[in-house]
C-alpha cells in the first residue's frame, strides 16, 4: 500500500490482528527482507512493514536521509494507520531508525529489538569508510552493491548461501544511486543513542553475530555490558534473518510475546 508523505509515495504493508509489530529493514534492503519472518510473526500479531526512504518502493526525499527523517516518515505511516503503541524490530540501519523513532515519537513503544545493529554512532574510521563508499557508488553502482551484499555474510556461509546472496543482490540493485548515497550520508551523521537505549523503560533485545563483518563483535559486547539489555548471540554474520533463520524466529517470538 502507498501513503503520501511530503509529496512522495511511501510503501508499507499491514497484515494480521493483535499487538502491533513494526519491522524496519536495513541498508540496501526493503520490506521484502521480511518475507520469511512475517508469516511467523503475523499468526498472533498485527505486522507493519515500511520501505524506508530511497529503498524499495519508497522514493527519495532530498540528498541526505537522516535517521530522524526516516523515523518521521515511519511515524507518519503509524499515525495514518491509527497506531499508538507498538514493538519495533530493526535490522542494521532499521535499528538506527528505530532508535530515532524511540527518541522522537509520542506513541508508546512496548519493545525495541536491535537486530545486527548498534546504538553507537559511527567512529571516525567508519565515517571515512562511508565517504569511500559514496565515491564508489558514484563510480560503479553495481559493483559496489555486489561487493557490499556478499560482505554482509560470514565467510563460512558465502558458498552455502550463494543462491540467497544472489537474491539479496537482485533486490539491492533496485535501490537507486540517490537512495544509497542519501542513506550513507544519514548513517554517517547519526547520533549516539546508547544512553537512550540504556535508560528507556521498554523491553529491549540485542541480536548479534559473532562473525558479523560489519559490526565489531567485541564493541557490541562492550555496548551491552553493564546494561539491562538482553543479548542473543548467533555464530554467523550480519544477515541473521537468513544465516540463522530458525533460531532468530524463535527468539523474536519470545521477545514480542513476553
CA nearest to 235, candidates 206, 205, 208: 208
Q: Chain centroid to CA 178: how far?
A: 19
Range of the domain at 64: 2-257
pLDDT bracket for residue 228 (50, 70, 90): confident
User: At CA 195, angle to CA 69 and CA 127, rounded to 5?
Assistant: 55
Q: Is the pLDDT of residue 226 over 80?
A: no
Distance CA 54, CA 184 (A): 11
**Nearest residue to 75 (alpha-carbon basis) of 100, 96, 94, 55:** 100
User: How confident is the model at residue 227, as a pLDDT?
Assistant: 84
Whether residue 221 is predicted with pLDDT greater than 80 in this model: the reply is yes
| 6-28 pLDDT tens trace | 999 999 999 999 999 999 999 99
Checking if the pLDDT of 135 tops 90, the result is yes
Predicted confidence band of residue 258 (pLDDT cuts 50, 70, 90): confident
pLDDT at 129 over 90: yes
Distance between CA atoms of residues 75 and 83, nearest Å: 9
Instruction: Give the residue with greater pLDDT, 257 vs 72.
Output: 72
Q: What is the pLDDT of residue 256?
A: 95
- The rounded percent of the chain whose pLDDT value lies above 90 is 95
pLDDT tens per residue, range 71-122:
999 999 999 999 999 999 999 999 999 999 999 999 999 999 999 999 999 9
Number of folded domains that form the chain: 1
The CATH number for 56's domain is 3.40.50.1820
Which set of grid coordinates corresponds to residue 229?
539489555
CB 137 within 8 A of CB 181: yes
Q: What is the DSSP string of 59-102?
A: PP-SS---HHHHHHHHHHHHHHTT--EEEEEEETHHHHHHHHHH
User: How much is the pLDDT for 75?
Assistant: 98
pLDDT, position 85: 98
Amino acid at each position: 500500500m502507498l501513503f503520501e508523505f511530503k509529496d512522495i509515495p511511501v510503501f508499507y504493508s499491514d497484515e494480521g490482528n493483535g499487538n502491533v509489530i513494526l519491522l524496519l529493514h536495513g541498508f540496501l534492503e526493503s520490506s521484502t527482507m521480511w518475507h520469511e519472518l512475517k508469516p511467523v510473526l503475523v499468526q498472533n500479531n498485527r505486522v507493519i512493514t515500511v520501505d524506508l526512504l530511497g529503498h524499495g518502493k519508497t522514493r527519495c526525499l532530498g540528498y541526505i536521509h537522516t535517521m530522524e527523517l526516516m523515523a518521521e516518515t515511519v511515524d507518519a505511516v503509524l499515525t495514518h494507520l491509527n497506531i499508538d503503541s507498538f514493538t519495533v524490530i530493526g535490522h542494521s540501519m532499521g535499528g538506527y531508525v528505530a532508535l530515532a523513532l524511540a527518541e522522537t515519537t509520542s506513541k508508546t513503544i512496548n519493545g525495541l529489538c536491535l537486530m545486527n545493529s548498534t546504538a553507537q554512532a559511527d567512529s571516525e574510521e567508519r565515517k571515512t569508510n562511508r565517504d569511500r563508499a559514496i565515491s564508489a557508488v558514484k563510480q560503479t553502482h553495481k559493483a559496489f552493491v555486489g561487493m557490499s551484499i556478499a560482505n554482509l555474510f560470514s565467510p563460512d556461509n558465502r558458498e552455502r548461501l550463494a543462491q540467497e546472496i544472489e537474491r539479496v543482490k537482485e533486490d539491492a540493485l533496485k535501490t537507486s544511486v540517490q537512495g544509497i548515497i542519501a542513506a550513507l550520508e544519514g548513517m554517517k551523521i547519526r547520533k549516539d543513542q546508547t544512553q537512550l537505549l540504556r535508560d528507556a523503560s521498554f523491553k529491549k533485545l540485542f541480536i548479534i553475530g559473532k562473525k558479523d563483518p560489519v559490526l565489531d563483535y567485541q564493541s557490541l559486547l562492550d555496548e551491552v555490558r553493564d546494561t539491562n539489555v538482553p543479548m542473543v548471540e548467533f555464530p554467523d554474520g550480519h544477515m541473521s534473518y537468513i544465516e540463522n533463520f530458525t533460531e532468530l524466529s524463535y527468539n523474536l517470538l519470545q521477545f514480542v510475546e513476553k
